[in-house]
Amino acid sequence: MSQYYNPKRGAAWNYGGKNWKLSRSKIDLFCECPRCFYLDNKLGVKRPPGFPFNLNSAVDALLKKEFDVHRKAKTRHPLMEEYKINAIPFAHKDIDTWRENFEGVRVHHKPTGMIISGAIDDVWVGDNDELYVVDYKATSKDGEVTLDAEWQDGYKRQMEVYQWLLRQNGFKVSDTGYFVYANAVKDLDEFNDQLIFKTKIIQYDGNDSWIEKTLGDIHTCLNDERVPGSGDECDYCPYRETAGKTLQEKVLKKSIKPVSQKKVDKDNPSETGSLF
Q: How many CB atoms lie within 10 A of CB 66?
A: 15
Please check the confidence at residue 260 and state whether its pLDDT lies above 70: no
Q: How confident is the model at residue 173 (pLDDT cuts 50, 70, 90)?
A: very high
The 3-state secondary structure of the chain reads CCCCCCCECCHHHCCCCCCCCEEHHHHHHHHHCHHHHHHHHCCCECCCCCCCCHHHHHHHHHHHHHHHHHHHHCCCCHHHHHCCCCEEECCCCCHHHHHCCCCCEEEEECCCCEEEEECCCEEEEECCCCEEEEEEEEECCCCCCCCCCHHHHHHHHHHHHHHHHHHHCCCCECCEEEEEEEEECCCCCCCCCCCCEEEEEEEEECCHHHHHHHHHHHHHHHCCCCCCCCCCCCCHHHHHHHHHHHHHHHHHCCCCCCCCCCCCCCCCCCCCCCCC
**41 in Cβ contact with 27 (< 8 Å):** no
Report the greatest alpha carbon distance in the chain.
Answer: 75
Please check the confidence at residue 99 and state whether its pLDDT lies above 80: yes
Residue 164 amino acid letter: W
Q: How confident is the model at residue 270 (pLDDT cuts 50, 70, 90)?
A: very low
Distance CA 1, CA 4 (A): 8
pLDDT for the residue numbered 227:
95
pLDDT for the residue numbered 255:
63
Tens digits of residue pLDDT in 10-58: 899 999 999 999 999 999 999 999 999 999 999 999 998 877 778 889 9
Which of 185-194, 212-221, 241-250, 257-266 shows the lowest mean pLDDT across its residues? 257-266
Tens digits of residue pLDDT in 53-89: 788 899 999 999 999 999 999 999 999 999 999 999 9
Q: How far apart are the first and last CA of the chain?
A: 15
pLDDT for the residue numbered 267:
47
Q: Which of 104, 98, 185, 179 lies closest to 137, judged by CA?
A: 179
- Domains in the chain, please, with CATH? 11-222 (3.90.320)
> Which residue has better confidence, 256 or 213?
213
Please check the confidence at residue 113 and state whether its pLDDT lies above 80: yes
Please check the confidence at residue 262 and state whether its pLDDT lies above 80: no
Please check the confidence at residue 169 and state whether its pLDDT lies above 80: yes
Positive or negative, the CA dihedral 30, 36, 39, 45 is negative
- Overall average pLDDT of the 247-258 stretch: 74
> Which residue has better confidence, 56 or 181?
181
